[in-house]
């Protein structure tokens, strides 16, 4: 059976696994309202994030987010080896119940992953996801506004940004939480897209296929996957826009499709979202994207897609959509919020310094300038820290009222340098930056 045929059979069995539509729900809080404390235990959040390589230096790291019924191993035979070969560091996040549980909880895992990767890398990160994995990062960006300054690109392959009609028959009696929330007209999708879909400073690349049988409809840019509102930079592209004969279905687009991959990499390696004009027509002749082993492809794809089907079917059935969290309704006020903030302070989370370092060499590399920005969390929002002490190779500087400091030094070597940031009453921050 051909590679497209395998995808058709498998995706038909998992047709209910995706997402929801933009029906207006009850009014949602202002987009700048600080996000609530995370309800998932810190140990569980930490265990869910896997970063095999150092995130310092080189291209911005990429967070790989799985879809409904998927785990991070969905990317193990495609995007992971492809990004590794390109020298792009990546991390994966694992959601509860193989991504079939409440997507609001999955959003908290994404929030933690973004914050952690940003702190480790000392710069903005990129996010790439398939299906639910292309949509759930937007929940994190919508309700935890501090994460917006930490993300540069969001690349979504066959995302369910506005839901799917295919979930209606699947949820006729009961279905798992994630499918309820991705059904056309769900309260979840209504909250996700109210009042805007995108935010300034972030580039959104949404890649879809006209042959998607899971996220429907997707006949053109008015379909489920595409984004239109807000201040973000948006590119909505169908793989058939580049290659009219392409017949990739839902699972193919998120795993081995060379056109989707070309658009994703174009977005990750250029300023702004993907631009189809930069991609040559030769991609239409490629059978697989980089990272896929043609010899083992039949077994790899069959194994991965079978797991998706089984894990989706094993999700806990519910008779109705989970209720929206208090932070996503009305004015976003939640009972006990003050107590939660006090608990965070007791745990010391508000006293953790977050530092980003931007190095620049001048005069043929003999002079180094380090621009440092120091911030901390306050009531779920990142605020600048003035008076923090920044140390590097015998130099010292203090941050101004904007949390910024600049250090200059003549250097001869290349490699990793250590920057230490301290302030009395705060946990210190250490950054290793490649120069």
Active site residues: 131, 212, 250
- Nearest residue to 15 (alpha-carbon basis) of 65, 64, 68: 68
My answer on whether omega of the bond before 243 falls inside 30° of 0, hence cis, is no
| The token pair that represents 78 in the structure block | 């495609």
Q: Where are the beta strands (DSSP E) in 185-259?
A: 203-208, 233-238
Conformation bin of residue 58: beta by default, left when phi > 0, alpha when psi is -120 to 50: left
- Nearest residue to 160 (alpha-carbon basis) of 31, 265, 16, 273: 16
- 3-state secondary structure (DSSP) of residue 376: strand
| The token pair that represents 68 in the structure block | 């409904």
Could you give the C-alpha distances from 339 to 37, 203, 331, 342, 350, in angstroms and in order?
10, 36, 18, 5, 14
Cβ atoms of residues 249 and 257 within 8 Å: no
| The token pair that represents 237 in the structure block | 């592209």
Conformation bin of residue 394: beta by default, left when phi > 0, alpha when psi is -120 to 50: left
Identify the H or E element spanning 355: strand 354-362
Residue 345, strand partner residues: none
């Amino acid at each position: 059976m051909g590679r497209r045929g395998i995808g058709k059979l498998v995706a038909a069995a998992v047709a209910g696994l995706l997402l929801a539509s933009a029906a207006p729900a009850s009014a949602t809080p202002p987009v700048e309202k600080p996000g609530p404390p995370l309800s998932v235990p810190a140990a569980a959040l930490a265990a869910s994030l896997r970063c095999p390589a150092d995130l310092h230096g080189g291209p911005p790291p990429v967070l790989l987010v799985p879809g409904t019924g998927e785990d991070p191993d969905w990317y193990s035979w495609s995007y992971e080896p492809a990004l590794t070969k390109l020298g792009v560091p990546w991390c994966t996040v694992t959601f509860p119940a193989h991504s079939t549980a409440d997507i609001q909880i999955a959003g908290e895992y994404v929030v933690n992953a973004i914050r952690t990767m940003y702190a480790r890398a000392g710069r903005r990160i990129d996010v790439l996801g398939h299906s639910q994995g292309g949509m759930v990062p937007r929940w994190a960006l919508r309700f935890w506004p501090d994460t917006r300054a930490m993300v540069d690109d969001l690349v979504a392959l066959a995302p369910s940004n506005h839901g799917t009609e295919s979930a209606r028959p699947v949820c006729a009696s009961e279905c798992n939480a994630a499918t309820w929330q991705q059904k056309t007209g769900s309260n979840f999708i209504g909250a996700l897209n109210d009042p805007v879909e995108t935010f300034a400073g972030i580039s959104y690349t949404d890649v879809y296929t006209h042959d998607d049988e899971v996220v429907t409809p997707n006949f053109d840019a008015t379909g489920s996957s595409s984004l239109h509102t807000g201040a973000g930079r948006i590119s909505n592209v169908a793989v058939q826009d580049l290659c009219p004969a392409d017949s990739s279905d839902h699972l193919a687009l998120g795993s081995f499709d060379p056109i989707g991959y070309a658009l994703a990499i174009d977005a990750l390696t250029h300023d702004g979202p993907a631009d189809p004009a930069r991609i040559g027509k030769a991609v239409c002749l490629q059978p697989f994207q980089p990272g896929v082993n043609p010899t083992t492809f039949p077994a790899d794809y069959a194994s991965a897609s079978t797991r998706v089907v089984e894990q989706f079917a094993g999700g806990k059935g519910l008779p109705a959509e989970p209720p929206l969290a208090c932070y996503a309704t009305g004015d976003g006020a939640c009972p006990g919020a003050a107590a939660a903030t006090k608990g965070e302070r007791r745990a010391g989370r508000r006293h953790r310094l977050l530092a980003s370092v931007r190095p620049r060499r001048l005069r043929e590399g003999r002079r180094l300038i380090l621009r440092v920005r120091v911030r901390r969390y306050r009531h779920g929002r990142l605020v600048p820290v003035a008076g923090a002490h920044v140390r590097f190779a015998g130099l010292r500087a203090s941050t101004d009222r904007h949390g910024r400091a600049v250090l200059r030094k003549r250097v001869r070597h290349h490699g990793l340098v250590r920057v230490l940031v301290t302030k009395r009453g705060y946990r210190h921050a250490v950054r290793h930056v490649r120069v």
